[in-house]
Amino acid sequence: MEQTKPSAEGLRYRKKLKARLSVERAALELVINGATTA
């Protein structure tokens, strides 16, 4: 399968998705750590 260069739209979407995932993971870890230490 030949790989064409990703569209700017797709690239921006993936970047946004990755950023949101990292933020959610950080929040989740905060909640988990807070729950275990509380």
Q: Categorize the per-residue pLDDT at 17 as very low, low, confident or very high, splitting at 50, 70 and 90.
A: very high
Q: Any idea how long the chain is?
A: 38
Q: Name the residue type at position 10.
A: G
pLDDT of residue 1: 58
DSSP secondary structure letter of residue 4:
P
Three-state DSSP at 7 gives coil
Q: Please tell me the pTM assigned to this model.
A: 0.58
